Amino acid sequence: MNENQTPSGSLYGEHLPEMEAILAELTAWIEQLRSHTKRETGDDPVEHVLGRIKTEESMRDKCRRRGIPETTESALNEVHDAIGVRAVCAFLSDVYTVRDHVAAFPGAEIVKEKDYIRHAKKNGYRSYHMILKIRGKYFAEVQIRTISMDTWAALEHHLKYKRDAVKNEALIVGELKRCADELASTDISMQTIRDMIFEEA
């Protein structure tokens, strides 16, 4: 059976168990940072971690939108977020602490990084994205963001997928951009206050 065949209609086929193992190891790696930091400083750099294997339906839809074949080859090599992890942090500095820890994940090579925090998208989206190639074979996307960025992204996601049914879209898009900028300013202020507290301690 070649890579373009999908046994029993499965897009991931025999690769799924190893993908699930990588997902578990990657989330455990972030949890390791949390445990170590809490022991050392009493603080937790991560509010929560979410991980998933992209559903086959979602993967097939993404392949169609990109105009590539709905095959195992495409799912594993052309699309780079079959394995996905999101770490949500309270403070901006924690985002970069987690980034450095993820970069040291054993057997991983950083293929691509996008700092949408320092260089936000036009619509206001902010997050830190990493594409890892793990064991020389599987790709994983890691998104690291603050709580406010995560809340904003969830709201923008609703707009994106309900766009046809939304009235006053231009107004909503404008308001979302305004909120994104205000939340970014608040994140910076909160980080500054935190740094001042630790300087005084």
Same domain, 75 and 162: no
The strands making up 83-89's β-sheet, listed across from edge to edge, are 48-53, 83-89, 138-146, 128-134, 108-115
Which range scores top for mean pLDDT: 1-5, 7-11, 12-16, 154-158?
A: 12-16
Residues 129/116, Cβ–Cβ less than 8 Å: yes
Long-range contacts of 135-139 (CB under 8 A, 24+ apart): 135/22, 135/107, 136/107, 136/109, 137/76, 138/15, 138/18, 138/19, 138/22, 138/76, 138/82, 138/83, 139/76, 139/77, 139/79, 139/80, 139/81, 139/82, 139/83, 139/111
Domain range enclosing 108: 7-147
Specify if 2 maps to a domain: no
In tens, the pLDDT along 113-158 reads 999 999 999 999 999 999 999 999 999 999 999 999 999 999 998 8
For residue 164, the 8-state DSSP code is: G
Residue 201: per-residue pLDDT: 56
Helices (H) and strands (E) in the chain, counts: 6, 5
- Cα distance between residue 23 and residue 130, in whole Å: 14
Specify if 96 maps to a domain: yes
With tokens 């991980």, the residue in question is 51
Say if strands 108-115 and 128-134 run parallel, antiparallel, or are unpaired: antiparallel
Same domain, 77 and 49: yes
- Cα distance between residue 62 and residue 75, in whole Å: 9
Same domain, 85 and 19: yes
Same domain, 164 and 142: no
Same domain, 42 and 129: yes
Specify if 1 maps to a domain: no
SS3 15: helix
Helix (H) or strand (E) holding 99: helix 92-103
pLDDT at position 163 over 70: no
Specify if 75 maps to a domain: yes
Of 147, 164, 189, the residue at which a domain comes to its end is: 147
In tens, the pLDDT along 67-109 reads 999 999 999 999 999 999 999 999 999 999 999 999 999 999 9
Same domain, 93 and 187: no
Specify if 125 maps to a domain: yes
CATH code for the domain in which residue 87 is found: 3.30.460.10
Same domain, 141 and 156: no
pLDDT at position 187 over 60: yes
Residue 168: per-residue pLDDT: 83
